Amino acid sequence: MTGRRTFGALALAGLLFACSLPAAPLPAAAAEKALPIPRFAALRSEPVNVRTGPGERYPIDWIFNRKDLPVEIVAEFENWRKIRDVEGAEGWVHQRMLVGKRSVLVRDKIREMHEKPEQASPVVARAEPNVVARLQECQGGWCRIEAQGIPGWVRRNEIWGVYPNETVQ
């Protein structure tokens, strides 16, 4: 593992919450061809080997040690997906290592989770940076997430794993 990947035990150490998502397979290969590129997915398990190219003959560049971490799929080749992480690093993983269930990563600093999608709404919880949460929906500039069973609304720009104008329901 190279030093640039920090999403293992270190990221878990400072969490107020952690979210465990059930693994769900991505659609069958034929149906998946119709899915857009780029798109977000999540890591199915840990560890996940990230390779320099689309195949087992390519060397492992680094290893993710964080189940449910959101990643962006930026290219496809047969059963391989080129992914990008929150830091912008790219590499190839087998499609079986990804799930279509959406998750997000809390960005930069402690973020308040509100009862409603409004700044004046009561705060129901706070999530520290690098918390992985389940993405439930987005309305305008707000997204509803769930971390350790606690739902709340955060500003869309406070999380990574959803596009600026993407509709999530």
- What are 46-86's pLDDT values in tens digits? 999 999 999 999 999 999 999 999 999 999 999 999 999 99
Q: What does each C-alpha distance from 77 to 68, 107, 130 come to in angstroms?
A: 22, 30, 30
Per-residue pLDDT, 169 = 87
Please, what are the domains in the chain? 9-103 (2.30.30.40), 104-160 (2.30.30.40)
Per-residue pLDDT, 15 = 34
Confidence of residue 11 (pLDDT cuts 50, 70, 90): very low
In which residue are the tokens 């929150």 written? 86
**pLDDT digit string (tens) for 122-165?**
999 999 999 999 999 999 999 999 999 999 999 999 999 999 99
**pLDDT digit string (tens) for 13-59?**
333 333 333 334 444 444 445 799 999 999 999 999 999 999 999 99
